[in-house]
């Protein structure tokens, strides 16, 4: 049976109080994040969602392209206007990632982990297989965060033959389960869990321990290619800090705080 998302089915299925209740749905769009960032500057309220069946210019971290056949994946963005200290900005990315793996576990039974900072992966040991990712983009005024857009991309029903060839092995929920996975329960469950976690943070609950416990990088030998820095950082990923940075201890014992980098695991 064809897995179709429509405005009418979404309107009936979404049971959150505010997250995703106002949504805009497109068949094809350049990027849900790009569109929602523009809408945020025009006064769209917190909780607004932009959803698409296909993105012509989908993006991941570090400017990478995100490819998915039309109707095969979950591709959506959510608008938040958190009244949090700036140093807690990355907490949004943390709960968005944790929400994704909890959602997939509830709907499919698959156990997933997070490859720092935001890749949704399957597998206990490397090489992990990536089935999704989170992209967070913030709008700052001085040191204050005015709004943040969280983009979520999950490979749902992409056959193995149609998965993009990437340096990091790609997979989909269909490939891993051996069956078609309905997207509507995934989306509805994601919104419910994300709303709860966001409200918990707003009430003072830190997501750090929960997020850290899902990271596959901790304890691994890693190589971090940092944009604009010629020499990569190599060492053991020992922890993360409150801002979500990966702490890597090199062979001399020095701790490097990695903010944005292409991190690979070495045996």
The residue length of the chain stands at: 267
What sign results for the dihedral spanned by CA atoms 198, 145, 115, 215? negative
Closest CA to 216 of 144, 135, 117, 145: 117
**Cβ neighbours for 227, distance < 8 A, ≥ 6 positions apart:** 62, 260, 261
Q: What is the pLDDT of residue 74?
A: 96
**Mean residue pLDDT across the chain:** 88
Of residues 219 and 141, more confidence is placed in 219
Q: Going from the N-terminus, what domains does the chain have, and what CATH number goes with each?
A: 7-212 (3.30.930.10), 221-266 (2.30.30.100)
Q: Return the minimum-mean-pLDDT range out of 64-68, 147-151, 166-170, 181-185.
A: 64-68
How far lies 196's CA from each of 50, 122, 157, 174, 207, in Å?
20, 25, 27, 27, 12
Q: What is the pLDDT of residue 1?
A: 44
Distance in angstroms (rounded) separating the CA atoms of residues 182 and 136: 25
Distance in angstroms (rounded) separating the CA atoms of residues 140 and 209: 26
Three-state DSSP class for 193?
A: helix
Q: What is the pLDDT of residue 40?
A: 94
DSSP E strands, the chain = 23-29, 49-55, 73-80, 112-115, 119-122, 129-141, 144-155, 221-225, 233-240, 246-249, 255-258, 262-266
The vertex-135 CA angle with 217 and 169, nearest 5°, equals 50
Distance in angstroms (rounded) separating the CA atoms of residues 148 and 77: 10
| pLDDT tens-place string over residues 101-132 | 999 999 999 999 999 988 999 987 777 899 99
What sign results for the dihedral spanned by CA atoms 170, 102, 207, 41? positive
Q: What is the pLDDT of residue 67?
A: 67
User: According to DSSP H, which parts of the chain are helical?
Assistant: 7-13, 32-41, 90-108, 173-177, 183-202, 208-212
Whether the Cβ atoms of residue 150 and residue 92 lie closer than 8 Å to each other: yes
Q: Return the minimum-mean-pLDDT range out of 16-20, 204-208, 257-261.
A: 257-261
Distance in angstroms (rounded) separating the CA atoms of residues 185 and 188: 5
Distance in angstroms (rounded) separating the CA atoms of residues 153 and 68: 9
Q: What is the pLDDT of residue 62?
A: 45
Distance in angstroms (rounded) separating the CA atoms of residues 171 and 194: 24
């Amino acid at each position: 049976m064809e897995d179709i998302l429509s405005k009418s089915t979404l309107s009936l299925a979404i049971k959150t109080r505010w997250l995703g209740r106002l949504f805009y749905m497109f068949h094809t769009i350049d990027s849900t994040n790009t569109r929602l960032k523009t809408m945020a500057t025009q006064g769209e309220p917190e909780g607004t969602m932009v959803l698409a069946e296909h993105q012509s210019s989908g993006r991941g971290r570090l400017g990478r392209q995100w490819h998915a056949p039309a109707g095969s994946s979950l591709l959506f963005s959510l608008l938040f206007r958190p009244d949090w200290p700036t140093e807690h900005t990355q907490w949004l990315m943390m709960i968005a990632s944790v929400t994704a793996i909890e959602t997939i576990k509830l709907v499919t039974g698959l156990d997933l982990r997070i490859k720092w900072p935001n890749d949704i992966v399957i597998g206990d040991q490397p090489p992990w297989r990536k089935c999704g990712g989170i992209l967070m983009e913030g709008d700052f005024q001085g040191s204050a965060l005015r709004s943040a857009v969280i983009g979520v991309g999950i490979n749902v029903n992409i056959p193995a033959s149609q998965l993009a060839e990437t340096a990091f092995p790609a997979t989909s929920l269909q490939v891993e389960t051996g069956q078609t996975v309905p997207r509507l329960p995934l989306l509805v469950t994601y919104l419910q869990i994300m709303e709860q976690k966001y409200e918990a943070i707003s009430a003072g609950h830190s997501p750090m321990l929960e997020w850290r416990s899902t990271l596959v990088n901790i304890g691994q030998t890693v190589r971090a290619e940092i944009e604009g820095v010629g020499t990569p950082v190599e060492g053991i990923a020992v922890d993360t800090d409150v801002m979500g940075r990966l702490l890597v201890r090199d062979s001399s014992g020095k701790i490097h705080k990695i903010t944005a980098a292409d991190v690979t695991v070495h045996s």
